[in-house]
Structure 1
Amino acid sequence: MDFGTGTVIFIILAVLAAVAVLFGIVAFIYVRRRYKTARSNEALIITGPNLGDPEKDNRIFQDENGRSMKIIRGGGQRLKFFQTSTPVDLNSFQIKLTTPKVYTSQGVPVVADAIASVKIADSLDGIANYAEQFLGKKDTEIEEEVSKVLGTNLRAILSKLSVEMINNDRESFSHQVQDIAQVELDNMGFTITSFGLDDLRDADEENGYLENLGRPRIAEIRKKADMAESDAEKETRMYKAKNDQEAQQEENTRSTTVSQSQKERDIKEAEFKRETERARAQSEQAYQLEQARLNQEVTEEEMQVQFIERQRQVTLEQEEQKRRKAQADADAYDIKAKAEAEAEKARIDGEAEASIQRAEGLAQAEVIREKGRAEQRRKSSWPKRWRNTAKQQSWK
């Protein structure tokens, strides 16, 4: 094989490869564009030929005219030739309703405002009903038709009830409207997720039925509020008075306790002072007694010394007289001398005797006098009350 033939073959293979790649890309794009998925808040409505057997696939719905559709929820589907898919939004939408003048069962003209949240039904049957009736319509057209159904049922329930029943139990009223309207909306493929009566008012302002309807209740509530307020004020005053009384009692108790404590302290101080004074008096009295005893002992010792001195003087005088007598006896050898000596001796003896007696009398008088002085000094040192007691005893 020459070089030219190899080149031709290489070029042919390259072209075939490029064609194959291009075909693959085209096929991928085609399959990618034909494969449809349904998001969590969506449903796919597939129409066209070759949808499948309705008896084997419950996602396929067919009407009496032979028209069929396939509904996909939460998955994907590859579309075949001549098949189309339409996404359906399953999110809820809100509808505000305002009724014209409606007469209640009592003949009272009222106007009601309500708010409803509506969405396409989650069931395949509901989605199929929606697709048959509303697929391809604008959202405003769909909301208008749903509003008519809700408004009609709202007015129907209003006309069957009294104003008091509607106003006093709005929850029950809302449930009645929702239950009746849901029957019709099921056939349309919708579900009411919530319904509430927003406002109920008089159709004629001069009528004032609803306003007057609340006056007795308002008056009763005001009365109860005033009574409750009065009771609360009464309880507050009673509670405050009770607290004041308890506080006063506690204050009195505290004052009594303080007074009692002060009294006990004063008594203890008085007792301590009395004991102190008594102890001090006893101490002073003991001191004075001891001092008087010591003074008396000193006086007695001094008197004893004086008495001994007197006795010594008397003894010395006696010795002197004895010496004189002995001398006189020695010198008188003769009668005259002896007589004279005897006379002298008699005289000396008489003088000595007299002197001795006089000395003894003076000593005894001195001792008695000194004892009297000591006794007088001892009594003068006694406390006054003792001296009085001593005088009384001396008088006795």
Structure 2
Amino acid sequence: MVFLTEYLGASNLVPIIITVVAVVAGLAILSSIFRMWKKVPQDKAMVVTGMKKRIITGGGGLVLPVLERTDTISLGNIQLNVNTSQTMSSQGVPIDVAGTAVIKVRNTHESIYAAIEQFTGTNESQIQNSISEQVTLILEGKLREIVASMTVEQIYNDREAFSAKVQEVVGTKIGEMGLELKDFSIKDVNDTNGYIRALGAKQIAEKKKDAEIAQAMALKEESIKKSEATKEGEKARLEAQTQVSAALKEKEVQEAQYRSEQESAKAKADAAYEIQKSITNKEVIAAQMEADILKELKQKELQEAQLQVEIAREQKQTELEQRRAEKTREELKVKIVEPANADRQQKQAQADAVKYTRIAEAEARAEARKAEANAEAEAKKAEAKAEAEAIKLKAEAEANAETVSGESRAKAIAAVGLAEAEAIKAKGLAEAEAMEKKAEAYKKYTGAAMADKLIEKLPDIAKAIAEPLSQISDIKIYGGGIDNVSDNVPTVLAKVFDTVQSSVGIDMKNIVMADSLEAKTTKNVNVTGVDEVLNNSIGNNSKAGK
């Protein structure tokens, strides 16, 4: 049993052990892979040799340790300074040349293999130093060969051609080594014998000579141009003098013409001034006349406005009186007429005679007033018509005497005058018709109507008779004198009645008595056109009843 238990426990540990071993083996394999993985930057190239020859650039790859070898070479630019001293030119002149070259390993597999084969070293730095040394030697040798084939003047004056020739010769040579010459430039060309300086002096002398010749030619051309300019200036001066003389002559002719034209224009202007002055005087007179007419029209308009205000006031007063009369009639109808309806049938026969008499007299008075108003209206109408005709004739006479502009103003004035005349005409017609109607009404006045007018004035007559008594401050009475004082007003009033009867034939006493009798018998009389008379009668009857 113990053995079996131990066996079963050992059996349970086997999977765990296998798992641990697998994990350790996996980690070991991954670690080995990471160690074998080589990364190469963009500016470098790695050459792998051993099992399989290959190149890795700008990336990474697996390299088996022990079985494979790696060499790294730079693909970047390498700058080299190349100097040659005392190099003989084709003329035998020793010169010193200093230049700068830029080279690099060409980024192709063939070039990289060629470079790694020819330039040895244990690391990248040794390989780059080897490239710099060998290429510098090659450049110096080729540079000496090229200098020996050219003159000093060619080298000094045409450096671009010299650099191009160096690149052509050296580029082919180092291209076989897997390299390329990116650029070559000459920094300086010099000699210790003063040959180049002598060339400069000669050129300077030639340049000075050329400059002197050019200056002499310029002076010559300047002198020639000055002479030509002087000649042209003199010619221009003479031409200018000729033109000035011609201009002066033309100016004198023009001045004479101008003076002649000015005198002619002045004469015309004087004549035009006189004509315009006459026209202006006429216009001033016309304007003054027009102003007077306008002033007169304004005055007439003011008078017309005042008259319209007065007419409106009278119309309002008439309407007020009519309303008051209507109110009085309504009050009388309520207070007196309706209570008197019971007695009206009984006394109708007695009142008919007096009623119709009063109606006739009231109608006569109304007709007289109407005729009077018509007469006044006709008179005003005739007067307005005559005035309008006079204004119209005056405007037409003034219009015929003016110029075209005066005619327009005269027509405007005539139009205003006609409008004013029409307004005055309308007013005059109304007043004339009123006067005419009033005159006709006066013709139709009967004795009763005249008596009615006199009765209306009796209170004023009595007031005038009693007025002197009101001025007496102190009265002394002796005996029966008090009766004389109290009877003074009735006595004088009775004498007035006698005077009216003797002068116009109207018996005021009988009329008053008849009126009193009518007041006692007539209480409800309402006939269209005579409301005022009947209302007075009803009022008198009411007082008599009381």
TM-score w.r.t. the length of structure 1 is 0.51
Q: Does 1:95 align with 2:97?
A: no
Q: Does 1:214 align with 2:200?
A: yes
Rounded Cα–Cα distance in structure 2 between residues aligned with 1:9 and 1:266: 145
The number of residue pairs the alignment matches comes to 258
In the other structure, the counterpart of 1:186 is 175
In the other structure, the counterpart of 1:41 is 43
Rounded Cα–Cα distance in structure 2 between residues aligned with 1:254 and 1:25: 116
Q: Which amino acid aligns with 1:210?
A: I
* Higher relative contact order, chain-length normalized (CA < 8 Å, sep 6+): 1
| Alpha-carbon offset, residue 197 of structure 1 | 2.1
The one-character-per-residue Cα deviations of 1:247-304 (angstroms, maximum 9, x if unpaired) are: 999x9999899979976874564134311454589899xxxxxxxxxxxxxxxxxxxx
Q: Does 1:124 align with 2:113?
A: no
In the other structure, the counterpart of 1:351 is none
2:76 is paired with a residue of what secondary structure?
Answer: coil
2:185 is paired with a residue of what secondary structure?
Answer: strand
| Alpha-carbon offset, residue 46 of structure 1 | 0.8
In the other structure, the counterpart of 2:97 is 112
Q: Which amino acid aligns with 1:39?
A: P
In the other structure, the counterpart of 1:159 is 148
The one-character-per-residue Cα deviations of 1:194-243 (angstroms, maximum 9, x if unpaired) are: 122222111x2xx21111113333333444456667778968x969x79x
Change (3 A) 1:264 1:32: farther
In the other structure, the counterpart of 1:27 is 29
2:42 is paired with a residue of what secondary structure?
Answer: coil
Rounded Cα–Cα distance in structure 1 between residues aligned with 2:135 and 2:73: 17
Equivalent residue for 1:77, pick from 36, 61, 64: 61
Q: Which amino acid aligns with 1:275?
A: S
Change (3 A) 1:29 1:171: same
Rounded Cα–Cα distance in structure 1 between residues aligned with 2:272 and 2:119: 129
The one-character-per-residue Cα deviations of 1:162-217 (angstroms, maximum 9, x if unpaired) are: 21232233233223333333344234332211122222111x2xx21111113333
1:161 is paired with a residue of what secondary structure?
Answer: coil
Contact 2:104–2:182 under 8 Å retained in 1: yes
Segments of 5+ residues of structure 1 without an aligned counterpart are 52-59, 61-69, 285-396
Identity %: 27
| Alpha-carbon offset, residue 105 of structure 1 | 1.7
Change (3 A) 1:252 1:133: farther
In the other structure, the counterpart of 1:393 is none
Change (3 A) 1:264 1:41: farther
| Alpha-carbon offset, residue 22 of structure 1 | 4.6
Rounded Cα–Cα distance in structure 2 between residues aligned with 1:257 and 1:90: 91
2:182 is paired with a residue of what secondary structure?
Answer: strand
| Alpha-carbon offset, residue 158 of structure 1 | 1.3
Q: Which amino acid aligns with 1:79?
A: V
Rounded Cα–Cα distance in structure 1 between residues aligned with 2:157 and 2:207: 16
Aligned Cα root-mean-square deviation (Å): 4.7
| Alpha-carbon offset, residue 36 of structure 1 | 2.7
Q: Does 1:198 align with 2:200?
A: no
The one-character-per-residue Cα deviations of 1:126-181 (angstroms, maximum 9, x if unpaired) are: 22222123232254443222211111111122122221232233233223333333
Rounded Cα–Cα distance in structure 2 between residues aligned with 1:283 and 1:132: 123
Change (3 A) 1:128 1:138: closer
The one-character-per-residue Cα deviations of 1:113-134 (angstroms, maximum 9, x if unpaired) are: 1111111233323222221232
The one-character-per-residue Cα deviations of 1:355-379 (angstroms, maximum 9, x if unpaired) are: xxxxxxxxxxxxxxxxxxxxxxxxx
Q: Which amino acid aligns with 2:140?
A: G
Contact 2:171–2:180 under 8 Å retained in 1: yes
Q: Which amino acid aligns with 1:46?
A: V
Higher percent of residues as helix: 2
| Alpha-carbon offset, residue 11 of structure 1 | 9.6
| Alpha-carbon offset, residue 29 of structure 1 | 3.6
Rounded Cα–Cα distance in structure 2 between residues aligned with 1:111 and 1:162: 13
Contact 2:75–2:104 under 8 Å retained in 1: yes
Change (3 A) 1:279 1:156: closer
Rounded Cα–Cα distance in structure 2 between residues aligned with 1:17 and 1:254: 126
